Structure 1
């Protein structure tokens, strides 16, 4: 039996295209080339393509169109308003980004840049999660998947980084709490990179529980250490699980079974959100997951949502830079959200991430929160 799934997408998000070569701004173009040469010494500047490019989304959308999934309803997101974005971002920062509409410029040395359509795309990306949680709150469905860019989880409260302008999942979580009455929001970030912006925004907030599994430092952005568990009233609300390169499906499933699920049962969230990067896929960078792994994670999260929060689950796209990996993984995730159960998934004989998960679990059980342990014993 299929389950209705709301799929949010707007082709205007393709207008974000920071390719770096802007004839009208030669100084900016030269700065971009210098930074690429520094960060990627072997790059051919004539053929270089920014990894956060429009075909990330078209790969996903084309696959979902060619192989439609019963129960999926395509939805247009509303752009986030300035006030909605300012719930998690500094007013001066938001004003700065809004002032760059129609411009091209370089925002950070980690190759974060904008093109003339980027500000509109970022507002739509931030609004996609808001549109999803509002529709779910209104009873239109229980599941949603947001095909969006630019991604968000590296965006801090007061600056852009890691290809991210606005922190889409943070904007979504804040809206769920402040406008829709969801008192406890839980986020699992399974992107290969640590969501340093999300951590910073919610680090002292006990109403938002963040679990972040990612490649361990010094891999970009070099944050998300085990002992980073929150501050002040938010101690225990940030659970980091650093993993070694080569981690695969078994390691991420272990993260769910031994960190996400027990933490959720202790926290009792009103809604579950996922920062869903697909760059842990073996076709992408340095990890070893595949689409069957993302499918089983989605199934476990769907079951957890059914158990704890009346099925409310919203998945927002983050990273992932290989077109085939993106298309395969997103299709697998939406298929599960639509109620197709997973019968099997691939597991490496010796997944190097499993030992790291075990170490994280032991640390988190010892650490606790000062009030109650973040993980059930």
Structure 2
């Protein structure tokens, strides 16, 4: 049976187009080159171009338009307002980003930058999740995939970082909580990089459960340790799953089976959100996943949403920098959201991430058990 899938996209997000080095900050350039050499040792720094480029979105959109998936409805997002952004970001920070509209420049030494169309793109990216949740909350659909840039999960409340201006998923989660009356929202961030910004925004908030699987520190941004479980009332509501580089599809399935699903059943969320990075794909050179793994976990998350929260599931694009990997992975995810049966799962002979997923499950078992008592 085909399920309706809302696809949120606006071509104006292509107007975010930072590129090149920053001649005004040579020390930043040195730091960026060192970071690139560490993560991508075979890169040619002489021909380096900014990886967060417009082609990331056009690769996905072109594939979905050339091979339409039954059940897809294309939707235009409404840009996020200052009030909506300020539920997750400091008002002074929002005002600063808005003041950069039409300008170019770097905001951080990790190559986070703006071009003249970036602020419009950032408002649309943050507004996409809000638009999707409002339609889903009204009962008009159950699934949504937001094709957005700039990404969001590295941005805390008060600064730009890691290619991110506004924390798109955090803005959506806060809107669900504070404007639409959802009491419990769950986030799974499966991007290759730890979502340090999302963690910081919700670290003391027991109404938002965050599971974050990622390449373990010191991999960028160097956070996301097992012991980072929340603070104050939020202790036990942040479950990090650090994994070794090179992990494949089986590891992410194990993260779902051993951490995500048990935590969700304990927490009883009313809405599921996924920070959907595709940079664990083998074509991005660090990990060994492919589109069959993303389809498999999307199918499992869809079933979990049906079980726990009337099917309410919103996915928002984060990282992923190889055009083919993005197109193949996003297409497989949309098919899974629409209810197409998932085929064979490609697995490594030995997946280095499976043991780490089990270790994280054992570490978080007490938090999940405590959560179940609180929710019952």
CA–CA distance in structure 1, aligned partners of residues 349 and 218 of structure 2: 26
Whether contact under 8 Å (2:282, 2:290) holds in the other structure is yes
Deviates more, 1:40-49 or 1:351-360: 40-49
DSSP-derived class of the 1:108 partner:
coil
Name the counterpart of 2:357.
357
* Cα drift, residue 109 of structure 1: 1.0
Q: Which stretch shows the higher mean deviation, 34-43 or 3-12?
A: 34-43
CA distance in 1, matches of 2:33, 2:297: 38
Matches within 5 A, 1:224-373: 224-366=224-366
Q: How many angstroms does 1:364 deviate by? A: 1.0
1:1-377 → structure 2 map (5 Å cutoff): 1-20=1-20, 27=24, 33-40=29-36, 47-366=47-366
Please state how far the C-alpha of 1:105 moved relative to its aligned partner: 1.1
Provide the rounded CA distance (Å) in 2 between the counterparts of 1:78 and 1:248.
Answer: 36
Q: TM-score, normalised by structure 1?
A: 0.94
Q: Secondary structure at the match of 1:144?
A: strand
Where 2:305 maps in the other structure, the secondary structure is helix
Distance 1:254 1:43 in 2: 31
Find the residue that maps to 1:329 and give its secondary structure. Answer: helix
Residues of 2 paired with 1:374 and 1:342: CA distance? 35
RMSD over equivalenced CA pairs, Å:
2.0
How far is 1:343 from its partner? 3.1
C-alpha deviation, 1:38, in angstroms: 4.5
Change beyond 3 A, Cα 1:338–1:262:
same
Tell me which moved more, 33-42 or 58-67.
33-42
Identify if the C-alpha distance between structure 1 residues 47 and 2 changes in structure 2 by more than 3 Å, giving closer, same or farther. same
Deviation, 1:138, is 1.4
Closer, same or farther: CA 371–211 of 1 in aligned 2, 3 Å: closer
Whether the 8 Å contact between 1:199 and 1:238 is mirrored in structure 2 is yes
Distance in 2, Cα, partners of 1:212 & 1:32: 28
Aligned mates of 1:180, 1:207 — CA distance in 2: 14
CA distance, structure 1, for counterparts of residue 238 and residue 32 of structure 2: 33
Displacement, 1:375? 12
Give yes or no for contact 2:7–2:74 (8 Å, CA) kept in 1. yes
Q: How far apart in 1 are the matches of 2:104 and 2:28?
A: 11
Number of aligned positions between the proteins: 372
- Partners of 2:127 and 2:36 in 1: CA distance: 33
What is the CA-CA distance between 1:16 and the residue it aligns to?
0.3
Distance 1:124 1:191 in 2: 21
Pairwise CA distance, 1:191: 0.4
Deviation at 1:370, TM superposition (A): 6.0
- Deviations along 1:6-56, whole A, 9 cap, x unmatched? 00000000000001369xxx636x676555445446866663210000000
For residues 199 and 40 of structure 1, do their structure 2 counterparts lie closer, same or farther at Cα, with a shift above 3 Å needed? closer
Deviation of 1:204 (Å): 0.2
Q: Distance in 2 between matches of 1:310 and 1:114?
A: 39
Contact 1:368 1:374 in 2 (8 A): no
Paired with 2:348 and 2:375, the residues of 1 have a C-alpha distance of 27
8 Å CA contact 1:209, 1:237 repeated in 2: yes
The whole-number CA distance in structure 1 between the counterparts of 2:211 and 2:30 is 36
